[in-house]
Chains A and B, each alone.
Chain A
Amino acid sequence: MRARCLPLAVAAALIAATGHAAPAAPGKPDDPETARLRAQVESLRTERDLASGKGFYLRLDASRQRLALMLQGVALDDYAASALEWGVPEVLFVNRAPGVDWDAVGFSKGRLEPERERDRIEVVAPPPVASPSPGAGPNEPVAEGPSPPPVPKSAEEAYSVPSPYRVVFAGGVALEVRAKGHGERNRSVFRRFADALGLRLSDLGTALGIGAKERVRLRVTLDAEDAASLYRSLPPDVGLVVVGLPAI
């Protein structure tokens, strides 16, 4: 009985192994034109999905070198990039390139690094006082009204802008924004030095796979004013779609 079952078991194992080894539909590999179209359709689908949601997202158009803040398919702010780079982690001069379809999906939950700090003014309301009665005499003391709250700072005063800064997305992709030229950054020399050191250490960490797993980093150089504007106004949990990326 056992002898008769053995060939069957071997055959079954062989069939299973063949099934695992070979792709379900090997097909003919795409010609370059079809592959390019397929990639474009994929990124458009990703963009459609993001545009159908309620969240904000960044749209990086690599072919036009533009970065836009979008909501439901509408560009709310659009920045021209003067340079665009694509980076991968490197350990001992050996880089770790991701798979070709790394950008086939949209990225979400983008957060700023360094984080944008917002100081909120807290006011404790004064205890309520009854308004003076019309019959009160002129010598009767009248309760003073509360002092007006301080005027909040403008965005330029409130937020200092690091350069570079990053928007780190879930899924191992980050967008690094560098500023070109001189803009109002409202950041001290000491903080800039601390930023640079922090970023270098974080680069080492991410390259070595310590902490957040980053696979790809897109580096965009914007005009200093635009870079600062984006940092100050970027909504939380922003998404990202990359279009027009050449084959790398």
Chain B
Amino acid sequence: MSAEPDTPSPAGPEPSPVETAVAITARLADRLKALLGRRRVQVAAGSLLFLLLALAGTGWDFRTLPPPGADVSVSPPAKPASREAARLLAERQRLETALRRKVPRGPWIVIDQTHNRLRLMRGDDTVLEAPCSAGSGMVLKEGSGGRVWVFDTPRGRFQVLAKLANPVWRKPDWAFVEEGERIPKDPGDRLEYGSLGEYALYFGNGYMIHGTLYERLLGRPVSHGCVRLGREPLREVYRQAPLGTPVYIY
């Protein structure tokens, strides 16, 4: 008995992968052609294309401004071109001088209450930079329907109004409420010694720059609105900032 010889299949030989791909592509092209022949599809494709173009061309158009070095503020000419130019030049100088005078000549203090940094400045120079603790932003509510306190440090320009060595803290109501203590009737019971550190610089509305017992928390917003400072920087600020020193808080 001999083996049956291989008989070719009626469909012919198997097409190669390339031939298959070509056939599929041709079929897809035919279908696409048929699809694009329809008016509704033409309108939809056109609208989509327009929308994409419109989106690409709608928004904001930016142009780069000259980089540093390409100085646009040319120095004024030795001789102004006209009487009007001379007047404007004089006006410009007057305004520049007025603005320059706004910068304090002596020491000034800047407090970044977000990053809890204090800088002592003199003119344009930074004399000292240290971590501090500004207001926590916490809200304290006294029971139901009672008083509400928000522990924020105020922003703006202030000035040192008083300087105190070995300050004594006269505890306000919230200090007792927060601790769950009764508010004392005797004013003497409100006094607390040592908790404000060695020095305090009062800048108004009950706010001070003072020392702290919690130096490990410096750099975090944990105070009740005052600005807490470490022992050494506080000594330096107390020594260098006279009464009237501007305090800028942002």
User: Which of B65, B85, B150, B178 interacts with A245 by CB under 8 Å?
Assistant: B65
Chain A residues whose CB sits within 8 angstroms of the CB of B57 once the complex forms: 90-94
C-alpha gap A89/B60 in the complex (Å): 4
Given the interface pairs A125-B180, A152-B137, the reply to whether A88 lies near B156 with Cβ below 8 Å is no
Q: Does A188 contact B (CB under 8 A)?
A: no
Which residue of chain A has the shortest Cβ distance to B85 in the bound complex?
A34
Question: Bound state CA distance, A74 and B72, in angstroms?
Answer: 24
Q: Given A204-B58, A244-B72, is A83 in contact with B95 using a C-beta cutoff of 8 Å?
A: no
Q: Which of A34-63 contact B (CB under 8 A)?
A: 34, 36-38, 40-41, 44-45, 47-48, 51, 54, 56, 62-63
Does A171 touch B at the CB level, under 8 Å? no
Q: For A37, what are the chain B residues with a Cβ–Cβ distance below 8 Å?
A: 76, 85, 88-89, 92
Given the contacts A74-B102, A90-B61, A208-B58, A118 and B91 also touching, CB distance less than 8 Å = no
- B171 interface hit (Cβ, 8 Å): no
Q: State the CA gap A248–B63 with chains docked (Å).
A: 9
Are A151 and B217 interface neighbours, CB within 8 A?
A: yes
In the assembled complex, which residues on chain A have CB atoms less than 8 Å from the CB atom of B84? 30, 34
- CB of B72 within 8 A of CB of A130, answer no
Residue of A nearest to B66 (CB): A246
B248 adjacent to A74 (CB under 8 Å):
yes
Chain A residues positioned under 8 Å from B246 (CB to CB) = 74
CB atoms of B112 and A233 under 8 A apart: yes
Q: Are A87 and B62 in contact (CB under 8 A)?
A: yes
Q: Which residue of A lies closest to B83 (CB)?
A: A34
**For residues 69 through 93 of chain A, which have their beta carbon under 8 Å from a beta carbon of chain B?**
69, 71-74, 76-77, 83-93
Is there a chain A Cβ closer than 8 Å to B168's Cβ?
A: no
B114 contacts the other chain (CB 8 A): yes
Quick check: A121 and B136 within 8 Å, CB to CB? yes
The size class of the interface chain B forms with chain A is 35 or more
- A36 and chain B: residue at smallest CB distance: B74
Across the interface, which residues of B come within 8 angstroms of A93, CB to CB?
57
Tell me whether A123 and B139 are in contact in the complex, defined as CB-CB below 8 angstroms, given that A85-B62, A88-B60 are known contacts.
yes
* Partner among A65, A152, A245 whose Cβ is within 8 Å of the Cβ of B136: A152
Closest CB-CB distance, B158 to chain A, in whole Å? Answer: 11
Find chain A residues with CB under 8 A from B146 CB.
Answer: 125
Q: Is the CB of B99 within 8 A of A72?
A: no
Complex contacts, A54 vs chain B, CB 8 Å: 156-157
B213 contacts which chain A residues (CB < 8 A)? none
**A54–B95 CA distance with the chains assembled, in angstroms:** 19
Check B141 for interface membership: any CB of A closer than 8 A. Answer: yes
Collect the chain A residues with CB atoms within 8 Å of residue B74's CB: 36
Q: CA–CA, A93 to B156, complex, Å?
A: 44
Within 8 A of B (CB), among A5-22: none
Does any Cβ of A come within 8 Å of B130's Cβ? no
Query: In the bound complex, do residue A235 and residue B65 qualify as a contact, i.e. CB atoms below 8 Å apart?
Result: no
Which of B91, B108, B114 is the most central at the interface, judged by chain A CB atoms within 10 Å of its CB?
B114
Contact A125 B62 (CB under 8 A): no
Hey, which bits of chain A sit against chain B, CB under 8 A?
30-31, 33-34, 36-38, 40-41, 44-45, 47-48, 51, 54, 56, 62-65, 69, 71-74, 76-77, 83-95, 118, 120-131, 145-146, 149, 151-155, 200, 203-204, 206-208, 217, 219, 229, 232-233, 235, 244-246, 248
Some 22 contacts from A to B, beta carbons below 8 A apart, are A31-B82, A31-B85, A33-B81, A40-B88, A44-B95, A71-B248, A71-B250, A76-B112, A87-B61, A90-B60, A94-B57, A120-B150, A123-B139, A125-B143, A125-B178, A128-B176, A149-B138, A152-B136, A152-B221, A204-B59, A232-B115, A235-B155
9 closest A-B pairs by CB: A73-B102, A93-B57, A126-B180, A233-B114, A44-B95, A37-B88, A87-B62, A90-B61, A85-B62
